[in-house]
Structure 1
């Protein structure tokens, strides 16, 4: 049966070659679209590495006030910590979770190993209580680091694997390019995907900072973990305390949940557009295949009539057309897979191997399902052609 199908396909090689080329191109485009969608879904399923619920972000700006910023900020943190309903307060840099701010560098070195591009965060001893990062090795910052000879840092597993491989990261000392600065790793956290829900788990490093002179950091950011169920009453109370302590500093508040939703809407826009492009492509491929199959039937009525006159059943005719279409699809998809497999081999996009494999499988499944659906009705129509009618028309 398979040999007979290949013979029929070879006899109509020109038309089938164009059909295979269309399927190959459609498969490749679907693979690229699937790759991006699968990668975003894969990232979405990964652990965030922190708990954003019930965390509020306060941005305080001293403006032109240059009088004892450090002391004012210290008093502010103490006042907020003493407020009923507040669980913990941390002072950090502006690149908070779901913000549009970044602080990245590749300056870190360990022996001859260069760090990947790493997002750097300012952190104090309370951040782990506010954001709930999961420490998997070593510890988070504490008072033991006050007397440290090297700047204490905590890294995520992605950074640790890139820099130290299978070695333990805790205790390792990092330097910069000129070996003028040194950082010592005191702990490793599981992950930290703070960009958005679809962000990849990239290298991250937290550098310990106690309340230093904030003039070097611009706007100052406080993250406050509140008790579940806290609402507008506590928010207004905290804003009043900020204004009372800072005496004129500008302050605004957002919840990380609100920031997350804002960032999610922005990230979903290109994904929805990508999905619409993929849907439009599938629709066009379906219409093209359906039209080609109908044309094939109209051109092969004499062949169908002769086969029916020789005793072929309607089911046999239907299976023949469906089988031809699936064989042509297999040849087209095989060519597409040969192109797609180059992506992981060449490291295009730098995605995990399982993402490429899943995207190939999804594109293959879509193409086969599409061709089977498009071939079903024309093959049934071919099976219903009466031999006398077909031969008389010829």
Structure 2
């Protein structure tokens, strides 16, 4: 039966060429959109690696205050904020805070004696209190503390993605990482830390300690504040008032990380939704096209179908033949589509995991077969209902 169907399709290859092309293009569109959605869904299910609830970001602008006075004023602001009812912890941070969209990327390298492996990662400058503010998950070693004050090397905590690139199969604790003219020493390993947001892929990163004696301000003008549950507009207003009272001419902008996350997610999801909507309209057009082609084909083949019925073919056999033919046509189109899709993981397009492409291929293939089968059901039912005497008399 299957060989007979392939023979029928091959004998009508010119008539089926446009149908095969249409299915091929539909598969490619579904594969591309499916890859994007699978990639986003897998990233969304990955833990962020920190606790953003009840954390506010405070961006400080010193205005025209002289640079030499800014660090001291910032310290006064921090001490005052810590004393406010409703504030639990305060820590300085570089501007690449969670959901901000900012980055501070640089290479992390092993020493030449250790192989010289390197990875490009995001550097986060944080204070010791950041552990209480964002609660990053440590899987090995420790967080920064007073023991690092006497260290001759800059302490650093790397994420597990950095560890896999630089120290595969070995413990990184105590290892040295060159940093320009200085050296960093690994004191801990954190889990995945996805400050870029819910749909971002886990990437290499490192936390660099800012000691309490550090008086710099320019790259640490952002504060992250953990507040008590239920804190709202009243506390935000109080914080703004205290900042303005201490820093004459200063201004501030307070944003809960939860709101920042929602805004970022909306910005990223909107294009994805638009892409899905466009894809749905294209698939509907493909379905209508398949339905129309099948309807026309059956009308053109009424005599053939009537003759088969006269020779004893059952209605179920006729219906199965129509559905089988469209599935074979779909197979030709899918074969071409899979040949194109296979180039994505082979060439490393977009740099995503091979599993993403394989999942998208399976989903697109299943959807195409389902779509063509559904579109063929009604026309096959009409073909099965053709009475042989009526069809032959029409001829």
Residues in 1 aligned to 2:353 and 2:173: alpha-carbon distance in whole angstroms: 26
Alignment of structure 1 residues 126-137 onto 2, 5 Å: 126-137=129-140
Residues in 2 aligned to 1:16 and 1:165: alpha-carbon distance in whole angstroms: 53
Give the CA deviation at 1:108: 3.6
Residues in 2 aligned to 1:271 and 1:278: alpha-carbon distance in whole angstroms: 10
Q: SS state of the match for residue 106, structure 1?
A: strand
Give the CA deviation at 1:142: 0.7
* Structure 2: segments with no counterpart, 5+ residues: none
Equivalent in the alignment of 2:378? 377
Q: SS state of the match for residue 21, structure 1?
A: helix
Equivalent in the alignment of 1:167? 170
- Is the counterpart of residue 310 in structure 1 residue 335 in structure 2? no
Residues in 2 aligned to 1:37 and 1:15: alpha-carbon distance in whole angstroms: 35
- Is the counterpart of residue 83 in structure 1 residue 92 in structure 2? no
* Residues 57 and 253 in structure 1, CA contact (< 8 A), matched pair in contact too: yes
Q: SS state of the match for residue 101, structure 2?
A: coil
Equivalent in the alignment of 1:329? 330
Equivalent in the alignment of 2:387? 386
* Structure 1: segments with no counterpart, 5+ residues: none
Equivalent in the alignment of 2:292? 291
Equivalent in the alignment of 1:234? 235
Residues in 1 aligned to 2:89 and 2:145: alpha-carbon distance in whole angstroms: 15
Alpha-carbon displacement from aligned partner over 1:332-388 (angstroms, at most 9, x marks no partner)? 212322221222222111112221121111111111111011111111111111112
- Is the counterpart of residue 33 in structure 1 residue 33 in structure 2? yes
Give the CA deviation at 1:129: 0.8
Alignment of structure 1 residues 1-394 onto 2, 5 Å: 1-66=1-66, 67-106=68-107, 108-111=109-112, 112-176=115-179, 180-210=181-211, 212-217=214-219, 220-394=221-395
* Residues 135 and 187 in structure 1, CA contact (< 8 A), matched pair in contact too: yes
Residues in 1 aligned to 2:202 and 2:111: alpha-carbon distance in whole angstroms: 21
Give the CA deviation at 1:109: 4.1
Q: SS state of the match for residue 136, structure 1?
A: strand
Judged with a 3 Å threshold, the aligned counterparts in structure 2 of structure 1 residues 216 and 60 are, in CA distance, closer, same or farther, namely closer
Give the CA deviation at 1:166: 1.8
Residues in 2 aligned to 1:198 and 1:209: alpha-carbon distance in whole angstroms: 29
* Residues 71 and 216 in structure 2, CA contact (< 8 A), matched pair in contact too: yes
Q: SS state of the match for residue 68, structure 1?
A: helix
Give the CA deviation at 1:107: 5.6
* TM-score where L is the length of structure 1: 0.94
* Residues 149 and 211 in structure 2, CA contact (< 8 A), matched pair in contact too: no
* Residues 24 and 332 in structure 1, CA contact (< 8 A), matched pair in contact too: yes
Give the CA deviation at 1:247: 3.1
* Residues 196 and 263 in structure 1, CA contact (< 8 A), matched pair in contact too: yes
Give the CA deviation at 1:17: 3.5
Give the CA deviation at 1:21: 2.6
Residues in 1 aligned to 2:145 and 2:301: alpha-carbon distance in whole angstroms: 81
Q: SS state of the match for residue 124, structure 2?
A: strand
* Residues 57 and 224 in structure 2, CA contact (< 8 A), matched pair in contact too: yes
* Residues 106 and 114 in structure 1, CA contact (< 8 A), matched pair in contact too: no
Aligned residue pairs, count: 391
Residues in 2 aligned to 1:187 and 1:129: alpha-carbon distance in whole angstroms: 16
* TM-score where L is the length of structure 2: 0.94
Alpha-carbon displacement from aligned partner over 1:168-201 (angstroms, at most 9, x marks no partner)? 222221114xx52211111111111112221111
Q: SS state of the match for residue 325, structure 1?
A: helix
Q: SS state of the match for residue 183, structure 1?
A: strand
Alpha-carbon displacement from aligned partner over 1:317-346 (angstroms, at most 9, x marks no partner)? 111100111122123212322221222222
Residues in 1 aligned to 2:3 and 2:134: alpha-carbon distance in whole angstroms: 64
Give the CA deviation at 1:251: 1.3
